[in-house]
A and B are shown apart, each in its own frame.
Chain A
Amino acid sequence: MKQLITGNEAVARGAWEAGVRFASAYPGTPSTEILENIATYEEIHSEWAPNEKTALESVIGASLAGARAIASMKHVGLNVAADPFFTFAYIGVNAGAVVVTADEPGQFSSQNEQDNRNYAKAAMMPMFEPSDSQECKDMLLEAFEISEQYDIPVLFRMTTRVCHSKSLVELGERQDVPLKPYVKNIKKYVAVPANAGPMKVKVQENQALLKVYSNNCQWNRIEMNEPGIGIICSGDCYLYAREVFGDDASYLKLGFTNPLPDDLIREFASRVEKIYIIEENDPYIEEHVRALGIACDGKNIFPRNGEMKPEVIRSVIYGEEYPVDDEVRAAVIPRPPTLCAGCPHRGFFYELGRRKNIMVSGDIGCYTLASGAPYHAMETTVCMGASISLGHGAQQVFDTIEGNKMRVISVLGDSTFFHTGINSLLDVAYNKSNLITVVLDNRITAMTGQQDNPGSGRTIQGEIIEAISIEAIARAFGFRNVRVINPNQLTEVKQALDWALALQEPSVIITRWPCALKKQTPLDQEEFKGSFTSVYWVNEEICIGCKKCTRTGCPAIVFQVAKKKSSIDPEKCVGCSVCAQVCPKQAIQKVEA
């Protein structure tokens, strides 16, 4: 039976069909739906891990214990998991293991555009690159076979379009893959220098064997049409190239891309006249082809950044122009994403944006939107958890300046705190910087679409658990100054900031209110009773049109330009009351039931 499904759904289906028993991930666009879909199969034990490193390490354990296992993450997640990733290649597997990386050419929702194919090469790990959903499923099944046959984990490299595009997939049945017995094998699994030397030699020998596989496997194939143009490509670029050239070109379609198939590349080169390498981001294939002494065109003519969409290829090769419609472009205005109506971050950033002599060290989540209008209350964003440690370093330097007035406020969300912020907070506790850490605890991983985390009170499979307490962690680290506040109460926010700024030692503020979109647990319903049930309105007779309320950036507030009065969309308002507290005339009032 064929179904139209996304690449992410196909990977989940493939994991199920491959007999996978353990899966772990940290949410990150565009990979999030892989584990969400895997979790719908009851035969697979699925977990949201606190971060990608713990996800991969638990997958290593699951593999050694005898279960086929899979870890999935976005491209930058593999940076976090890079430490276990490299040595996992050395120790190898017991049952098959696959690491999925979802790269983002075009950077739709990421802080960088790194090309994770480089990781496979650097770690000497076999790699697959599917083009569509059917290949996602088929290659994943093969990846587990390769993993077990060559005793090595496999990197499975997807990109945003492969993850989020739907195409037809022929579904299969789940394979019966029994647990393999765990066998104590210190020489194989303990990567101390004496063992790791021979391990490295084994991995190198493996690469030679895998090269033979790469030259002969079904995933790398020549499609001969006209010999004038020969295109070497992988992933979604193959689909784009087919779209542009059709049967007017011949193709070397690569699906298994580490190690690359030298013999096949040479054969293809001998059969075509002019070679183009079409790939997104880095010249990964191109550099290899050039190293084989084969002349080709690649990044010398194609862009290194963004997606290699059909129009990009066509304009480079055929010089087709896509003229800009100036009149239309001039009329189009931006539609930036905003913090939702009722977002508990709003009240906090409204107050924070008014402070002077501070540096706000930020992090990754919905709240990164606070770097934009109208708050402009976030000054750095690097990677998950960096807010605290980056802020720590900055505060240490500021404090070496005589008469320093600059204070650093590090801001991050609950999920980001559990991810890697927790390590950074330990640095502050240990090295004693005068840092203010603010954890925006909205009780969920919101940015990626409501995934549970250690503080949400629930697992991915819906089991209610005791939420991990952030304030208890801070106190356990030795922080004496810890405050939990309701960010919707501006006076509380103001007082907490005043308090923390007056202290000459580190402090932790936890703003605690659930995301307006969270499906609340019974415990949430108890703690936040009555949240999101009221609506506010603007009494136009009192409103003076000062626009202060619009500076909260709430999408429920509409300023009526003609009337010079504010109004509130009752369909959007969920009653956080921040705008009412900001109004100097008390024109914004609660709708009485």
Chain B
Amino acid sequence: MTTKNILLTGVGGQGTILASKLLTEGLLSQGYDVKMSEVHGMSQREGPVLTHVRFGEKVFSPIVEAKRADVIIGFEELEVLRNLEYLREDGKGTVILNRVRVYPIGVQNGSEKYPENAAELISARVGKMVAMDASEEARKLGNIRVMNIILLGASVRQLGLEGIDWGRIIAENVKPQYVELNQQAFELGKSLS
């Protein structure tokens, strides 16, 4: 198989790191070679987070090349827009889009305008866009923090990775009291995709 390229993009505190950890654990359980790279130095200070995940038979570079991402898992609209130039241009790229806006400081203080048309700009450039308000869905499940796992579930469906025992991967990587909630969130994400 050719190497698959995935990006997870969002803002510090949105749970991209746990989502990418679960994703890589799942891929490893299938015997894939996996590499992952993160830039998160500023994430505690409201900065952007971008995680590269690559898998296949043999992976060399830990980072996704521009115009070569197969899937972008977007936790926040502006951050997807910022990294959209990573997506493949042959019309076969997929974006999982969380319909959530986290305002940068410039928007909060009224000095800058958030790109309200982000979702339209994105959908015009992708083969497939799966959009959902995962934060709202998570709130309905009773804990806003499982938003990341809903998005992971949706992404797994789009990546065709449903054969992996995700229930076990979740059980092995989250605190016992949150296993069931996260498994529910994962299934919900799959069904929304």
Using A167-B35, A337-B47 as known contacts, list a sample of 8 further A-B pairs with CB atoms less than 8 Å apart, ordered by residue number in A. Answer: A4-B25, A239-B61, A310-B63, A332-B78, A333-B114, A335-B104, A338-B46, A550-B110
In the bound complex, CA of A347 to CA of B116 (Å): 33
Knowing A4-B34, A332-B78, A557-B108, the reply to whether A161 touches B62 (Cβ < 8 A) is: yes
Which of chain B's residues has its CB closest to A340's CB? B45
CB-defined contacts of B39 to chain A, threshold 8 Å? 108, 164
Would you call B65 and A239 a contact (CB within 8 A)?
A: no
Would you call A322 and B107 a contact (CB within 8 A)?
A: no
In the bound complex, CA of A332 to CA of B24 (Å): 29
Q: Which residues of B contact A (CB under 8 A)?
A: 11, 24-25, 28, 33-39, 41-42, 44-48, 59-63, 65-68, 78-79, 81-82, 84-85, 103-110, 112-115, 117-118, 121, 125
Knowing A4-B24, A555-B46, the reply to whether A165 touches B37 (Cβ < 8 A) is: yes
Which of chain A's residues has its CB closest to B81's CB? A332
Which of chain A's residues has its CB closest to B33's CB? A168
Would you call B62 and A311 a contact (CB within 8 A)?
A: no
A-B contact pairs, 22 of them (CB 8 A): A4-B24, A4-B36, A161-B63, A164-B38, A165-B37, A166-B35, A166-B36, A166-B62, A240-B61, A322-B67, A328-B84, A331-B81, A331-B117, A331-B121, A333-B107, A333-B115, A335-B78, A335-B104, A547-B109, A553-B105, A559-B109, A559-B110
Q: Which residues of A contact B (CB under 8 A)?
A: 4, 29-30, 108-109, 132, 161, 164-168, 236, 239-240, 242-243, 309-311, 314, 322, 324-325, 327-328, 331-340, 366, 369, 374, 449, 517, 547, 550-551, 553, 555, 557-559, 561
Report the minimal beta-carbon distance from B11 to chain A, rounded to whole angstroms: 7
CB-defined contacts of A366 to chain B, threshold 8 Å? 45
CB-defined contacts of B79 to chain A, threshold 8 Å? 335
In the bound complex, CA of A557 to CA of B117 (Å): 24
Report the minimal beta-carbon distance from A51 to chain B, rounded to whole angstroms: 20
In the bound complex, CA of A328 to CA of B125 (Å): 10
Would you call A242 and B37 a contact (CB within 8 A)?
A: no
CB-defined contacts of A311 to chain B, threshold 8 Å? 65-67
Q: Which of B41, B47, B115 contacts A336 (CB 8 A)?
A: B47
Report the minimal beta-carbon distance from B76 to chain A, rounded to whole angstroms: 9
Would you call B60 and A335 a contact (CB within 8 A)?
A: no
Would you call B104 and A333 a contact (CB within 8 A)?
A: yes
Report the minimal beta-carbon distance from A329 to chain B, rounded to whole angstroms: 8
Q: Which of B44, B47, B65 contacts A309 (CB 8 A)?
A: B65
Would you call B104 and A310 a contact (CB within 8 A)?
A: no
In the bound complex, CA of A327 to CA of B124 (Å): 11
CB-defined contacts of B68 to chain A, threshold 8 Å? 310
Would you call A328 and B46 a contact (CB within 8 A)?
A: no
Knowing A325-B125, A337-B46, A340-B45, the reply to whether A555 touches B105 (Cβ < 8 A) is: yes
In the bound complex, CA of A325 to CA of B124 (Å): 12
CB-defined contacts of A551 to chain B, threshold 8 Å? 109
CB-defined contacts of B44 to chain A, threshold 8 Å? 340, 449, 517
In the bound complex, CA of A340 to CA of B43 (Å): 11
CB-defined contacts of A369 to chain B, threshold 8 Å? 45
Would you call B108 and A555 a contact (CB within 8 A)?
A: yes
Which of chain A's residues has its CB closest to B35's CB? A167
Would you call B34 and A374 a contact (CB within 8 A)?
A: no
Which of chain B's residues has its CB closest to A7's CB? B62
In the bound complex, CA of A429 to CA of B48 (Å): 43
In the bound complex, CA of A242 to CA of B46 (Å): 35
Which of chain A's residues has its CB closest to B107's CB? A333
The tally of CB-CB contacts under 8 A between chains A and B is 142
Would you call B37 and A161 a contact (CB within 8 A)?
A: yes
CB-defined contacts of B85 to chain A, threshold 8 Å? 322, 324-325, 328
CB-defined contacts of A4 to chain B, threshold 8 Å? 24-25, 28, 34, 36
Report the minimal beta-carbon distance from B33 to chain A, rounded to whole angstroms: 7
Which of chain B's residues has its CB closest to A321's CB? B67
CB-defined contacts of B113 to chain A, threshold 8 Å? 333
In the bound complex, CA of A494 to CA of B103 (Å): 32
Knowing A328-B85, A338-B105, the reply to whether A310 touches B65 (Cβ < 8 A) is: yes
Would you call A325 and B84 a contact (CB within 8 A)?
A: yes
Report the minimal beta-carbon distance from B103 to chain A, rounded to whole angstroms: 7
CB-defined contacts of A165 to chain B, threshold 8 Å? 35-38, 62-63
Which of chain A's residues has its CB closest to B39's CB? A108
Q: Which of B24, B61, B103 contacts A166 (CB 8 A)?
A: B24
Would you call A333 and B106 a contact (CB within 8 A)?
A: yes
Would you call A331 and B106 a contact (CB within 8 A)?
A: no
CB-defined contacts of A336 to chain B, threshold 8 Å? 47, 104-106
Would you call A243 and B61 a contact (CB within 8 A)?
A: yes
CB-defined contacts of B42 to chain A, threshold 8 Å? 109, 337
In the bound complex, CA of A413 to CA of B190 (Å): 47
The listed residue with most A CB atoms (<10 A of its CB), out of B41, B44, B62, B84, is: B62
In the bound complex, CA of A322 to CA of B84 (Å): 12
CB-defined contacts of A333 to chain B, threshold 8 Å? 78, 104, 106-107, 112-115
CB-defined contacts of A558 to chain B, threshold 8 Å? 103, 108
In the bound complex, CA of A29 to CA of B45 (Å): 15
Q: Which 4 A-B pairs have the closest CB atoms?
A: A165-B62, A550-B109, A337-B45, A331-B115
The listed residue with most B CB atoms (<10 A of its CB), out of A236, A325, A332, A558, is: A332
Would you call B65 and A314 a contact (CB within 8 A)?
A: yes
CB-defined contacts of A167 to chain B, threshold 8 Å? 34-36, 59, 62
CB-defined contacts of A547 to chain B, threshold 8 Å? 109-110
In the bound complex, CA of A325 to CA of B87 (Å): 12
Which of chain A's residues has its CB closest to B106's CB? A333
Knowing A167-B35, A331-B81, A333-B78, the reply to whether A242 touches B61 (Cβ < 8 A) is: yes
In the bound complex, CA of A322 to CA of B79 (Å): 19
CB-defined contacts of A555 to chain B, threshold 8 Å? 46, 105, 108
In the bound complex, CA of A309 to CA of B108 (Å): 34
In the bound complex, CA of A332 to CA of B79 (Å): 9
CB-defined contacts of B104 to chain A, threshold 8 Å? 333-336
CB-defined contacts of B105 to chain A, threshold 8 Å? 336, 338, 553, 555
CB-defined contacts of A108 to chain B, threshold 8 Å? 39, 41
Q: Which of A322, A334, A449, A557 contacts B66 (CB 8 A)?
A: A322
Would you call A335 and B48 a contact (CB within 8 A)?
A: yes
In the bound complex, CA of A335 to CA of B36 (Å): 23
CB-defined contacts of B78 to chain A, threshold 8 Å? 332-333, 335
Which of chain B's residues has its CB closest to A449's CB? B44
Report the minimal beta-carbon distance from B121 to chain A, rounded to whole angstroms: 6
Report the minimal beta-carbon distance from A518 to chain B, rounded to whole angstroms: 12
Report the minimal beta-carbon distance from B4 to chain A, rounded to whole angstroms: 14
Report the minimal beta-carbon distance from A107 to chain B, rounded to whole angstroms: 11
CB-defined contacts of A559 to chain B, threshold 8 Å? 108-110
Knowing A165-B62, A309-B63, A311-B66, the reply to whether A335 touches B47 (Cβ < 8 A) is: yes
In the bound complex, CA of A555 to CA of B109 (Å): 9
